[in-house]
A and B are shown apart, each in its own frame.
Chain A
């Protein structure tokens, strides 16, 4: 059984980079999980999204365009999965995020002041990102978590680069507004 699994894992191999599916999982799993976490805001959801992403990628690996980066393909699946997860779970997910946030703030009391302030700042920004509409949240996460360029985001999301540029500006403005209104 183990031998047959290993054989099957070697089957979907990219011609351009000669990277196997296994290499893709190893190399990009943190990033896929991270993008799912930043979009859903929930660890369990992010794990579900990451595993369904790799499951879908495994099944569709023979259809993957090998001239394009594997990373972008995986991120495209992951963002789509995360967004549909968020839409499906909607209210239920938002409630669990609030609980997560509350525990995060409570934990920060034990740390020194500067660190606690920084942690609180990060928590506030993450919460503000989670409140963004899907349209802006995806581009903000791909830009500032995955460090993709505007063209790369356009490729991952299938939106025109000019639209992505505008959505980044608008997303940042919405974030700034949300953070300032908290003060």
Chain B
């Protein structure tokens, strides 16, 4: 309690605790709202999950720093009632479907892509689908004649004949451009896209979805596979916390017990432990983890086990040993021996509890190291194969040249979260160090 009161006297500790609280809150919120299976399904999903999401779109909040806003994604779907549909079955053997998509364009920029997804129900013959584009200044542009399968995707910019008719200008620009202005600028106003379907049977039915992909999307933006980055950013929190905490606790506690045993039993045991520590210092930590990752398993839990195993004889043994050597001579230990306590009991009940206060700061300070270690491995391409993590986002971004291509948000968001988590624990750890380490208190 006294320690707690002293800790709150450090402003950095309070800031650190607040940061930790926020990250833990995010982790809990994530676990509650997006269970493990759901996150994996979303993150590993392909076109079927992320069809309506733009590629490499910046987060919406980047609009706050721009003079004119980048457009967001617009989805118009007849099935959702955001577009009109009428069916004409008056002629026997023929069904006429007319679909109207109306939207207002107010942004100063063009959409990233335009796509039309058609869903036709027919029994034998594929329907003819005709797409026509009406601009606010009443121009009528014929976009395409298609024959639709049961479910089909028409991507405007991939249609070579449309691009040719639009004089080589990408359709998502040409269709929205103001014809009276030399430079390509969007013409603001109400656009209408008419899709007509001609079925050669009585009960054909056509539904369609028009997607104008925006240049910004959601809270966090999207990646090269149209995935919403919020999934990975949110799930990164519990993963990072679990990995950091478990690795820090695992290594600190095993190291402490080994140091205690060495000091208590002395002689050959102590010598062996000391030599092993020296060997451990030469073992290349990261290359060994890389070997485990490449040859054996990339699962985050296997890597965690390897980290703890390699950390058992870490260099902190020397620090703990120095403390235990002092504690060993304390009178209460002698008293315990006098009543006949054996080695194991003395180590577990007398030596170890004594240094736990000194242990807490170093434990908290090492958490960020492991949080960043997970990210480091992910950056090397050894991230967990299924879990989305912050490190894997940075790795994806790096592999796709995010910094070079100007997709800064892709790197900055996971990096900011990593930094925040690291700083939070580190600030609290430093303050704890001062509280528990009287020698540092005045400094």
**Real complex partners, A and B?**
no
